[in-house]
């Protein structure tokens, strides 16, 4: 019984960690997109 609850707790922690990683990767991707778009629009403006 104790082992079972421990297992459940670890799976819960895993899903929380996965959620955090997912949000982090989304933030990183959107940040890269914004930087790329900014650079692209600046080069168009100068051309």
Q: Which residue has the tokens 């989304």?
A: 26
Distant-in-sequence contacts of 37-40, Cβ < 8 A, 24+ apart: none
Q: What is the 8-class DSSP label of residue 47?
A: -
Distance CA 37, CA 47 (A): 15
Below-50 pLDDT ranges, the chain: none
The whole domain housing 23 covers 1-47
The tokens describing 29, both together, are: 């991707």
- The whole-model pTM stands at 0.47
Distance CA 16, CA 25 (A): 14
Total tally of structural domains belonging to the chain: 1
């Amino acid at each position: 019984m104790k082992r079972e609850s421990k297992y459940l707790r670890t799976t819960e922690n895993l899903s929380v960690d996965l959620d955090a990683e997912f949000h982090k990767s989304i933030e990183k991707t959107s940040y890269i997109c914004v930087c790329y778009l900014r650079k692209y629009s600046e080069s168009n403006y100068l051309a």
